[in-house]
Chains A and B, each alone.
Chain A
Amino acid sequence: MRKGLSWFNTTSIVLGFVFLYLPIVLLVIYSFNASRLVTVWAGFSTEWYWKLLENDQLLEAAWVTLRVAFISASVATVLGTLAAIALVRYGRFWGRTLFSGMVYAPLVMPEVITGLSLLLLFVAVNFDRGFWTITLAHITFTMCFVSVVVQSRLVTFDRSLEEAALDLGCPPLKTFFVITLPIILPAVISGWMLAFTLSLDDLVIASFTTGPGATTLPMRIYSQVRLGVTPEINAICTIMIAVVTLVVVAASIITKRQEVERERAERLAAAGG
């Protein structure tokens, strides 16, 4: 059989990537357009980026969004990792089906349902809506994504390392921090990043659970997008794309390197033991 990519495979990959990237590339290009008309090219300009700096509402919304995303991703990472450990390690326990159901269902649950149900909960318990209700809502739906990412690392994990530590008298909590956590760390970090970007991205759940004084960036962008395409929105989108791309590429290089080192250490430990 012929090795390498056939003509058909190459074409489908190339067309697929063109489809995935072309809209984003066009959006970035038109953020540098001198004309206010977004579809007519009138020369290169960074005018819209400078305009953004004067837009206090947008900057305020960006700051709220970043704080929500940071807090919710951090709490969600802890909760999601605990949930992953329970699901992978605990075997059968009372209420397991319900628990795994509650972990997997939010992954596919339509956002309108999650948003509405959380809003009604906050109203029922008379919780003031605003920054913290958005954060609580985001923790709830992002922790499930973290859990899935961490689970996929835990199932391929060599448990004999943990067992060796426990046999040598290391307390369980210490074993977790010294042995388990470093090994699953790349997955935990990517879980955090996934939670962070999901939170940055969320429009629907935030719109339901927000209150006076807490407007996130997607909510601000959405209300402007409904009025039509403008170069300012293209500019802020380009900044968000640039930030996310930089962080993701950097993080994937770092975690890749760590993973390679970890695996080598794991192998050495296994061979030496």
Chain B
Amino acid sequence: MARGTKGRWLVLAVPYLWLFALFLVPFFIVFKISLSQDAIAQPPYEPTFDLSAGWDAIREAVGQLNFDNYSYVLSWDNEFLQAYGSSLWIAGISTLLLLIVGYPIAYGMARAPKSIRPTLLMMVILPFWTSFLIRVYAWIGILSPEGLLNQFLMFVGLTDEPLEILATDTAVYIGIVYSYLPFMILPLYAALEKMDETLLEAAADLGCPPFAAFWKITWPLSLPGVFAGCLLCFIPAVGEFVIPDLLGGSDTMMIGKSLWTEFSVNRSWTVSSAVAVLLLLVLVVPIVFYQNVQAREMEGR
């Protein structure tokens, strides 16, 4: 078929170049600056590359690059390693909790009468449209010592004195589960809704108890949704900053918070770049895995 080849080329080139310049190139700059040193100058790091200064100047600048920031970040005393570990742990536990909370909801939605499914779907998406910051903020008022949850618990007599929930890791788990729940439910729902229910009927006819049928049929068929949902929650949760900052305590360590502190309080751009590069290294495997899941989902139909 004859097509305007120039127009065809432009359709691809415009978004390609945009993402190349504003998504890919910045990573190389982050990498370069992670090898630089802080300086009291504008910009606050050295060496800077001045392409007009000639080849020798550039070679000299390259010679000044070193891995000092990495040894600083990777040193056990500076608590970055602990923050990486604790981020992975918190994100992992939260993802598991999300799966436990989200699966029954997605399952119930997929089994609901066809006529009310779009409404249910919309009700899951709607809170996601309201500001993330607002949703996290709402929990401060609920979880604080004089907050609504404690008032309620004391009113029904479950506890005599307010529970310390705000400013603990528990609050961070609640915040992540709450904020990311739609991201878990939607892929699960998509997988469960596609399922052929006659398979379950066949199993039941052959005398398979419902619970065994769930494990042998429903669960394996929903695995693509489980993978997509878990990755969609886990990867951003590792780098989460707002939730640990607003709901967590001073001893809640997450790497997104460390990066932010390094950047905005200590004003070290070079160390924050090294933290970012290492965070990316930690996440590169799940991210590539997610891309494959996503590409197959989008293009394999």
Instruction: Tell me the A residues contacting B by CB distance below 8 Å.
Output: 1, 4-6, 8-10, 12-13, 16-17, 19-21, 23-24, 26-27, 30, 38-39, 79-80, 82-83, 85-88, 90, 93, 95, 98-114, 116-118, 120-121, 123-124, 136-137, 139-140, 143-144, 147-148, 151-152, 155-156, 163, 166, 171-173, 197, 200-201, 203-204, 207-208, 218, 221-222, 225-226, 229, 233, 237, 240-241, 244-245, 248, 252, 256
In the complex, the answer to whether A116 meets B43 with C-beta atoms within 8 Å is: no
Q: A79-B14, A200-B131 are in contact. Are A8 and B104 (CB under 8 A)?
A: yes
Q: Which residue of A lies closest to B198 (CB)?
A: A1
Residues in A with CB closer than 8 Å to B133 are 201, 203, 218, 221-222, 225
Q: Which residue of B lies closest to A208 (CB)?
A: B263
Q: A117-B276, A152-B298 are in contact. Are A39 and B242 (CB under 8 A)?
A: no
Residues in A with CB closer than 8 Å to B29 are 117, 120-121, 124
Interface set, chain B 230-279, CB cutoff 8 A to A:
231-232, 235-236, 238-242, 246, 256, 259-260, 263-264, 269, 272-273, 276, 279
18 extra interchain contacts, Cβ-Cβ under 8 A, other than A39-B146, A106-B23?
Answer: A9-B111, A10-B108, A20-B181, A24-B130, A26-B142, A82-B15, A95-B16, A98-B24, A99-B12, A102-B19, A105-B291, A124-B29, A137-B22, A140-B23, A143-B15, A155-B301, A201-B133, A240-B131
* B80 located at the interface, meaning its Cβ lies under 8 Å from any Cβ of chain A in the complex: no
Tell me how many residue pairs across A and B have CB atoms closer than 8 Å. Answer: 265
Residues in B with CB closer than 8 Å to A85 are 11
Residues in A with CB closer than 8 Å to B286 are 108
Interface set, chain B 128-144, CB cutoff 8 A to A:
129-135, 137-142, 144
* B58 located at the interface, meaning its Cβ lies under 8 Å from any Cβ of chain A in the complex: no
**Alpha-carbon distance A155/B300, docked complex (angstroms):** 9
Q: A80-B15, A88-B299, A121-B26 are in contact. Are A201 and B132 (CB under 8 A)?
A: yes
Residues in B with CB closer than 8 Å to A10 are 108
Q: Which residue of B lies closest to A101 (CB)?
A: B291
A-B residue pairs in contact (CB < 8 Å), sample of 8: A9-B112, A109-B287, A110-B236, A112-B276, A121-B29, A166-B3, A225-B140, A244-B131
In the complex, the answer to whether A23 meets B19 with C-beta atoms within 8 Å is: no
Our pick among B33, B279, B288, B291 for the contact of A113 (Cβ within 8 Å) is B279
Q: A108-B290, A111-B239 are in contact. Are A99 and B140 (CB under 8 A)?
A: no
Interface size band for B: 35 or more
Stretch at the interface among B62-70, B71-79, B117-125, B216-224: B117-125
Our pick among A86, A156, A237 for the contact of B12 (Cβ within 8 Å) is A86
* B215 located at the interface, meaning its Cβ lies under 8 Å from any Cβ of chain A in the complex: no
In the complex, the answer to whether A116 meets B263 with C-beta atoms within 8 Å is: yes
Contact digits for B278-299, partner A, Cβ 8 Å, 1 yes 0 no: 0110010011101100110011
* B1 located at the interface, meaning its Cβ lies under 8 Å from any Cβ of chain A in the complex: yes
**Alpha-carbon distance A104/B22, docked complex (angstroms):** 14
In the complex, the answer to whether A27 meets B4 with C-beta atoms within 8 Å is: no
**Taking each of B22, B105, B142, B295, which has the highest tally of chain A beta carbons within 10 Å of its own beta carbon?**
B22
In the complex, the answer to whether B127 meets A24 with C-beta atoms within 8 Å is: yes
